[in-house]
Structure 1
Amino acid sequence: MKPYNRRLRILCLLLPMLCLSLLRPVPELRADPSAGASTDDREILQNSLSVVEIDREIERITAQQETIQQELNKLSGQLEDKLLQIQDQQSRAGAVIRSYYMGEREGLLVAVLSAKDLGSLIHMYDVYDMIMEHDRTVLDAYQSEYKEIKNTKLAMEKKTADLEEMKSNLIEQRARVSALQQKVDQGIASSSDPEALKKMIEEFTLYWENVGLNEVKTYFNALASAMNDLPEFIQNQDGAIRTNGTTYNIDIKEDDLNAFLRSKNDLFKQFAFHFGEDEITASGQSGTLSLEVQGHYSVEEQPQNSIMFHVDKLVFNGYELPDTTCRQMEEEFDLGFYPQQIVSFVKATEVKSTDKNLHVTLKLSM
């Protein structure tokens, strides 16, 4: 019995471990499956990566369409309710306006003025004031309901325009995916080893979705976090801010910015910014992972005055990602900075990059 009991106890100990091992996800791929791929195969992989990313954009647009359609349906219901409410207010307001037009309120005023003693005057004035207040309430209610209807209609028009733009964008992206997928299929068909190429594409797609995209987002998140502290860095940097009357000039040197970023996160020890003529490049490598971001800054007024970074090109491990991924990174991560956090009474009017220097011009905000 003792050996049996011992085996039973061992089984009881191993069973939970076995269950946990089954529940544990498959380890992520850490090495790029495309390493050593031929030039032709890399072109096919480039197209397959674009297909994956544009497919993600299609999913995002489709989800947004559904959300906007729900909002549009809700606004439509609100508009119907408002139209019913305003019919009653319109009738009340019409009666008030007619009473003024017909001179009925003038009689009330005459009655107040013809009061024979102070007590009668006060009483008549209270009655007159109460009627006037009621009139104002009716007219204000009508005006408020009418304004809400106008705002609801404008909101519906905006949502309808957004929906139409998204539908057009969706058609365009689907056409892009179809064309790219056709190139991928043709490349596989003409390959000397189609099955091996298919397997490489599958592994590379998994690698991108499980490792690559997360790494790209990790760097963008670190950059966005560091940008929050950029105003403080500029204020503490000797000579970074110069004044000339009502104009403020900010100069950020490439080396100073890179030193600042490295002080904020160890990720930037292998990652650096370079300022060129109207172009900014950020690139780096960690192990087998490499990332390059090319973009530019611009002055934006909406929703507030700011210096915003636009991603023009995004390259991961030598593969250029489609513009949809660039736009997504821009939307998800704020890499801009806000001059009024540096000097509260100014606004940015110009930003330009030259060799190893970023220059921002600020003017007094009147």
Structure 2
Amino acid sequence: MYRRIISLCVLFSLLTLVCFRAPSLAAAITEEEQAILEKSLSIIEIDREIARIETRQQETETSVAMLNQQLAEKDEQIITSREQAGIRIKAYYMGERESLLGALLSVDSLRDFFSVLDYYQIIAERDQDILGTYKTEYSSLKKTKDTLDKLSNELSDMKENLLKQRERVATLQQSVDNSLSASADPDKLQAMIQELTNYWESVGLKEVRKYFHALSLAMSEFPDFLSNHKDSLISVKGGYTLVIREEELNNFLHDKQDLLRNMSFKFEESKIIAQGSSDEFDLKIEGHYSVENAPDNSIMFHVDRLIFNGFELPDTTSRELEKDFDLGFYPKQIVPFIEATEATITKGILTVKLKLSI
């Protein structure tokens, strides 16, 4: 009985591997099939982006509703504070406080003087409390309005992006449907699409994110690069130049993360290419660096193309990975008093210009 159960488990595992193999590596496909499969993969990924946008939209709408309620409550609170503050300010201008001060200066005895002075200080402190409360509530009201305006703008952008992505999916789906209708063997094509979908959703996306996670961890330790390559930082007039050579970057990344040892990193003209593969997995990343100053000065990596097993993924996947995994590095972590002004990629070399920021 136990042997039979074990045999069934092994058989099931083998069947699972067959069902979730990488289609582009399992058999040769035509250019037309390649294009259709790539579109079907884009549909999957843009659908995921739509789901993310819808979730963020719901969360933002909830936040906007809460802020509108807070705004209404703060408006009511500030009416009373504004009226009280107005009375106090008017009193100063109408001379009531001067009259009280005159009374303070006209008393006949030292005892009366201190009694009036205490009374005057109590009134003055109360005035300051009222004015301070109004100032605090007004500041809180303004902050809430600013936050509401920002979220409302973000919500508007989300809705616009949602419409855009839905249109993209509809266009791609129509193209795939047309191709299936015109195909000599639509069942075979549909099976290939399903096979790619299964593999991507069960294995592919997780593997891609795993590699990006490893890259992010390695780049978080980039300050160690300078410790091993002190000659990479060259002093020039007004600052420094950081020169990163292709071979040195490969060695650094391979030492930091074992998973990256089957990937090679190449500097081509104006772009960096990272490529690696395993038994049934191939990943190619093309991108470039740019200098960013918000929120911090940094050299940020941008994914221009992401190719999985020969299929190019849509820009939505690239932007998601950029957001979830930081592949940049921060000059101030290398030398505290410098900041980057320019990043240039040439054959085999990444050059970063740094200026003093004391």
Does residue 1:283 correspond to 2:236, yes or no?
no
Q: Which amino acid aligns with 2:90?
A: R
2:23 equivalent to 1:33: yes
- Amino acid across the alignment from 1:32: A
Q: How does 1:51-62 map to 2 (within 5 A)?
A: 51-62=43-54
Could you give the per-residue CA deviations for residues 74-105 of structure 1, whole angstroms, max 9, x where no partner exists? 10011011001001111111111121122110
Report what 2:171 is aligned to. 179
Deviation at 1:17, TM superposition (A): 8.8
Give the conservation status (yes or no) of the 8 Å contact 1:65–1:163: yes
Counterpart pick for 2:67 among 71, 75, 82: 75
The CA RMSD over aligned residues, in Å, is 2.4
**Contact in 1 for aligned 2:20/2:198 (Cα 8 Å):** no
Correspondent of 1:252 among 239, 244, 249: 244
Is 1:353 the counterpart of 2:345 in the alignment? yes
The 1:247–1:66 alpha-carbon spacing in structure 2 relative to 1, beyond 3 Å, is same
Alpha-carbon distance, 1:322 to partner: 0.5
Q: CA deviation at 1:238?
A: 2.7
Q: Distance in 1 between matches of 2:124 and 2:193?
A: 78
Task: Give the secondary-structure state (helix, strand or coil) at the position aligned to 1:239.
Answer: helix
Q: Which residue of 1 aligns with 2:137?
A: 145
Of residues 306, 313, 321 in structure 1, which corresponds to 2:305? 313
CA distance in 2, matches of 1:254, 1:180: 38
Opposite residue 115 of structure 1, the aligned amino acid is V
CA drift of 1:16 comes to 11
Tell me the CA shift for residue 117 of structure 1. 3.7
Q: Percent identity of the aligned residues?
A: 45
Higher mean displacement: 122-131 or 95-104: 122-131
Number of equivalences: 354
Q: Return the alpha-carbon distance in structure 1 between the equivalents of residues 356 and 114 of structure 2.
A: 56
1:211 is aligned to: 203
CA distance in 2, matches of 1:169, 1:75: 23
Please give the secondary structure, in 1, of the residue aligned with 2:344. strand
TM-score of the superposition, structure 2-length normalised?
Answer: 0.93
Helix, strand or coil at the partner of 2:274: strand
Q: Is the aligned partner of 1:302 residue 2:255?
A: no
Correspondence for 2:82: 90
- Correspondence for 2:190: 198
Match of 1:338 among 330, 342, 352: 330
Question: Which residue is 2:100 aligned to?
Answer: 108
Tell me the secondary structure at the aligned position of residue 36 of structure 1.
Answer: coil
- 1:116 Cα shift? 3.1
What letter is aligned with 1:240?
S
AA matched with 1:227 = M
Q: Distance in 1 between matches of 2:157 and 2:67?
A: 19
Alpha-carbon distance, 1:56 to partner: 0.6
CA distance, structure 1, for counterparts of residue 268 and residue 118 of structure 2 = 76
How far apart are the structure 1 equivalents of 2:63 and 2:234? 48
Structure 2: distance between partners of 1:291 and 1:16: 37
**Stretches of structure 1 lacking an aligned partner (at least 5 in a row):** 1-9
Q: CA deviation at 1:123?
A: 2.6
CA shift, 1:305, in A, is 1.1
Report SS of the residue matched to 2:335. coil
- Structure 1 residue 27, shift from structure 2 partner: 3.7
Q: Is the 8 A contact 2:20 2:202 kept in 1?
A: no
CA distance in 2, matches of 1:236, 1:135: 64
Provide, for residues 162-208 of structure 1, a one-character-per-residue CA deviation record: whole Å limited to 9, x for no partner. 11111111111111111111111111111111111111111110101
- 1:121 & 1:358 partners in 2: Cα distance? 78
Could you report, residue by residue, the CA deviation over 1:217-254 in whole angstroms, capped at 9, with x for unpaired residues? 11100000000111121233130112234312111111
2:128 is aligned with what amino acid? Answer: R
1:236 aligns with 228
CA distance in 1, matches of 2:55, 2:68: 20
Residues 15/41 of structure 1: CA separation in 2 closer, same or farther (3 Å cut): closer
Question: Which consecutive unaligned segments of at least 5 residues does structure 2 have?
Answer: none
> Counterparts of 1:365 and 1:132 in 2: how far apart (Å)?
47
The correspondence for 1:222, drawn from 209, 214, 233, is 214
